Amino acid sequence: MIKRMIAVCSSCFFLGQLSAQMERTVYQVFEVDSIQNISLDIVGFTYPELHVWAGNSIMTEANIQVWEAAPEVVNELIKQGRYAFESEKTGDLLRVFTKVRKREDFKLPGMKTKCVEQTTVKVFIPDIYEWDPAEWTPEQIDKPKTLRRKPNTN
């Protein structure tokens, strides 16, 4: 009986190790200054969410979950900018966009299947901007979103 329990516990431990999930959260901040219009061109993230805050900058919070990958692998993917955002300012428009526009699935050496990853993003915008809620529906996930400075908030 004890041998059987040890075998069952060992197999549960081994199976748990096989389906290990690594999770990291990456934050980035973008100053808005006196920008009138902002374009959020965020692609490749599941479940984008918009949150309003009293800050004077835009903050992105990317949550990355990868199954079947060691912490070092996930850290290297982050370091390479796989989940990063960039920005460019043109006149009174600030464009915040996904650095890696298409993330290919990846497979580690010695693995038979590709790693499963799920990425979500929360975007925190200053309360001096307004947006169209219709742009934040599930059908609009990979389409650019526009923010406009509210009148009289210069």
In this predicted structure, the answer to whether residue 53 has a pLDDT above a threshold of 90 is: yes
**pTM reported for the whole predicted model:** 0.80
In a domain, 9, yes or no: no
In a domain, 1, yes or no: no
pLDDT given at position 107: 78
In this predicted structure, the answer to whether residue 3 has a pLDDT above a threshold of 70 is: no
Owning domain of residue 86: 21-149
Q: pLDDT-derived band of residue 10, with 50, 70 and 90 as boundaries?
A: very low
In a domain, 8, yes or no: no
Q: In whole angstroms, what is the distance from residue 87 CA to residue 65 CA?
A: 24
Angle in degrees, CA 48, 50, 55, rounded to 5? 135
Tally of domains within the chain: 1
In a domain, 50, yes or no: yes
SS3 18: helix
SS3 2: helix
SS3 58: strand
In a domain, 3, yes or no: no
Residue appearing with tokens 């009174």: 92
Q: In whole angstroms, what is the distance from residue 68 CA to residue 127 CA?
A: 39
In a domain, 35, yes or no: yes
Tokens, residue 120: 């979500």
Q: pLDDT-derived band of residue 28, with 50, 70 and 90 as boundaries?
A: very high
